[in-house]
Amino acid sequence: MLYSKYPVWKVYNISFGKSMQYFDTHAHIGLICEDPIEQLIVIQEARQAQVTRIVSICNSLHDFVKVYDNLKSANHVYHAVGVSPSEVQNPGKDWVQTIEQSAQLPRVVAVGEIGLDYYRKFGDKKSQIELFITQLDLAAKLDLPVIIHNRDAGKDVIEILKDRLPPRGGVLHCYSEDAEYARRALDLNLYFSFAGNLTYRNAKNLHETIGVLPLDRILIESESPFMVPADYRGKRNMPKYLPITAHFLADMLEMGDEEMADTLWDNSSRFFNLPRE
């Protein structure tokens, strides 16, 4: 088993190559801080750690508008727009039209995060499923990939995606299922994104999952301010910590840091339909 080889409590000494750059595919910048200047500082600190592309995620359309406006000058920050299951009871007035219009803005690259969350019991299952399916169909119409939230709803998520996954595909963000679930999901046009919890010693399901996935279907994310890597447990997560997750993954797969960074960059750029450079 892969996880038995890697002491996640060690402090990593990551040597950055000149060409290394990282792509944070999922960061809740608006939840890290609300002040526009502080948000730009978070992004600048990430760039200093060679995290040179970030996809900003908002749970609500109201928050999307605020964060998008705050980060207009940050050309290396991209955006997803959508209504998460947490907002199922109040998605907003004319929310479908708002997503359609927002999807035309510069640097909007996905619909998300969307999906199902049966752990928190937001609204009822029927309403969550209707919201999810509507946005999957919207993504198909807009020719965008989807960023998928799944918490305690794996069976329904995979069954819905079998019929409604948009042509541009999707990513199971902050992957939390097991290796067998991943094997089934591989039959679809899905990527698998791992956050800082990959570095936790008890994350055996994630370590085993890495062992069954093709390398070209793997992404990483900070999921900041949540899911901080093991070395920083107890602190608020930041995009600047993303290289720790990449380094851990490189160790697991016996790859060099530069090769891993390059592979993840290519995978992320391809998924979001962005140029490699």
Which residues belong to the annotated binding site?
Answer: 26, 28, 113, 149, 173
Cα(64)–Cα(124) distance, rounded to whole angstroms?
A: 24
Q: Hey, what are 118's tokens? A: 């049966």
Looking at residue 240, the DSSP 8-state letter turns out to be: G
Helix (H, G, I), strand (E, B) or coil at 220: strand
Long-range (24+ apart) CB contacts under 8 A made by 119-122 are 119/151, 119/152, 120/85, 120/86, 120/151, 122/85, 122/86, 122/87, 122/88, 122/89
Cα(256)–Cα(277) distance, rounded to whole angstroms?
A: 21
Helix (H, G, I), strand (E, B) or coil at 115: strand
Contact, 135 vs 160, CB < 8 A?
Answer: no
Binding residues for a divalent metal cation are: 26, 28, 113, 149, 173
Q: Which residues pair with 150 in a beta bridge?
A: 116
| Burial of 206: CB neighbours in 10 Å, binned 0-12, 13-18, 19+ | buried
19-28: b (≥16 Cβ within 10 Å) or e: ebbbbbbbbb
Q: How many CA atoms lie within 13 A of 265 on its CB side?
A: 18
Q: Hey, what are 237's tokens? A: 């997560």
Looking at residue 230, the DSSP 8-state letter turns out to be: G
Contact, 241 vs 211, CB < 8 A?
Answer: no
Which residues touch 106 (CB under 8 Å, ≥6 apart)?
Answer: none
